[in-house]
Amino acid sequence: MKYLPCLVASVLVLYANSLAFQLSQKYSPVIDYLLLVPDLNSHSWEYLLIAGYDASIRLLATLFILLIFRKIVPRSPFNVKAAALIQLPFVLLVVLNFDSTDSTLIPGSAYEAFRLLGSISECVSVLMAYGLIVAYNKFTSEKIEVISSS
């Protein structure tokens, strides 16, 4: 029962990612750049640029929701188990999508590598955001201790 807010957070993270990608589709400089590339094919390196762009959008949206979740529900557990529970819907979506789209684990082109990197970043985005929050909190607490001991 104590992890119930994490399930709510997982739905919010899914919604935030969906909204972020809908907005980025309209206002993306990367998509504008891709429309100007003359000979775009499945072996173009520009697909790797999209993979990085998509991963950063996903990570920022997830980080935003997790920070809000920590402020709104401070008594809810925020550990690796909670982060994995929040991550679970993403993993399920990737597994279902991976099976239905005939994707491979060994990419043969830049486009297939883009799709594989997108799936991997989707599978670990919440855990990466959780790691960033924990690292930031540890860094700031150590910095305060060093300043106060001087």
Tens digit of each residue's pLDDT (9 = 90 or more) over 113-128: 777 777 788 888 888 8
Say yes or no to pLDDT of 66 above 70.
yes
Closest CA to 129 of 73, 96, 89, 86: 86
pLDDT of 17 strictly over 80: yes
Q: Which residues of 1-33 are buried (b: 16+ CB within 10 A; e: fewer)?
A: eeeebbeebbebbbebbeebeeebeeebeeeee
